[in-house]
A and B are shown apart, each in its own frame.
Chain A
């Protein structure tokens, strides 16, 4: 039976660990053929250029699922559907078409004064028409 090899774990400062792993990745990349290196460099530039476009929000899962389903159905990227929805919302809000007052409830959070409480029909998945 082969003898088990145990390696002592080294605890690192988190910033040192992140920097080291980034450098290891770059070193590994530098060993790749030129075409592969260029492809990875392009990918990295693409990811970096999209960084400012990224946002993280908590959404009701039903809404998220509906956006994904619509994206599949229409073959349109989900990000663009959400951009359209948010753009429409902001236009309607600034034109006074949407009144947040009817959803507002006082919040107990020290950071916010209000929460929006949505009616079920607003966030429930709508069944597709036959």
Chain B
């Protein structure tokens, strides 16, 4: 089992959409996948057209089993949903012993091939729990200065966690809302490539279909499987970027 955390302290960079799209993609590739909503906004459930519910609260505060709290979304895809009660989870964790590893302990023997954690854009105890539980951290970022600063913040937190003994298998930077025609995108992308090298994954092109899909409570795989956000940019017979290419990178990580 591999645990991926989708994290960036900057909000609105596409963490939830990315986690939803990749989780659904993995499930369609017959990878048994669990999505966990660590954000009190509870947007993962909404992305699948479901109501928010206190799945994480029941799991951590009421000590219910993982099997009991998951919502079955599709073949090979389960969800631990979240809602405003997730705030109470943070308070409970703060008061617990071994508070940083509570989530890691719960997920340790979860019967899944991949677990995707959607982290909130804040540096709190639940965020740290998510980072500590993760084998691999995916950091979605808009190609703009503020979001890229969020990348540095996450990497600093990861370095601190590393110092306390946790070893990540790796991390990836995922540019989102990518518009290859603007000079600012080019400059930021160039900087990211120079700074992070092989850690930089192919970007997700800016695409209105992504915003529409949430309104319909569908994932991109159902709503617009051939959109540019899914397939990437056409470059001759090649495709560059897009969720399908990123999914292939994730499968490489899962298969070691």
Contact = CB atoms under 8 A, between A and B. Distances in A.
A18 B238 contact: yes
User: Most chain-B Cβ atoms within 10 A of its Cβ — which of A10, A22, A51?
Assistant: A10
B97 interface: no
Given A10-B193, A10-B194, A22-B235, A16 B186 contact: no
Nearest to A27: B186
Interface in A7-21: 10-13, 15-16, 18-20
B233 interface: yes
B57 interface: no
Given A22-B235, A27-B183, A51-B236, A15 B193 contact: no
B245 A11 contact: no
Nearest to B236: A51
A55 to B, nearest CB: 12
Contacts of A45: none
Contacts, number: 55
Given A12-B193, A16-B200, A20-B189, 19 more contacts: A10-B193, A11-B197, A12-B198, A13-B200, A13-B201, A15-B202, A15-B238, A15-B240, A18-B240, A19-B189, A19-B203, A19-B233, A20-B190, A22-B180, A22-B235, A23-B186, A23-B189, A26-B180, A26-B181
Contacts of A18: 235, 238, 240
6 contacts: A18-B235, A19-B189, A19-B203, A19-B233, A23-B190, A27-B183
Interface of B: 180-181, 183, 186, 189-190, 193-194, 197-198, 200-203, 232-233, 235-236, 238, 240-241, 245, 249
Nearest to A8: B197
A20 B201 CA distance: 12
Contacts of B203: 16, 19
A20 B202 CA distance: 10
Q: In the A-B complex, list the 7 residue pairs whose CB atoms are closest, starting with the nearest.
A: A15-B202, A10-B197, A19-B240, A11-B198, A23-B186, A15-B240, A16-B200
Contacts of A24: 186, 190
A43 to B, nearest CB: 15
B197 A12 contact: yes
Contacts of B193: 10, 12, 16, 20
B136 to A, nearest CB: 15
A24 B240 CA distance: 15
Given A18-B235, A18-B238, A23 B180 contact: yes
Contacts of A30: 183
A16 B201 contact: yes
A15 B172 CA distance: 14
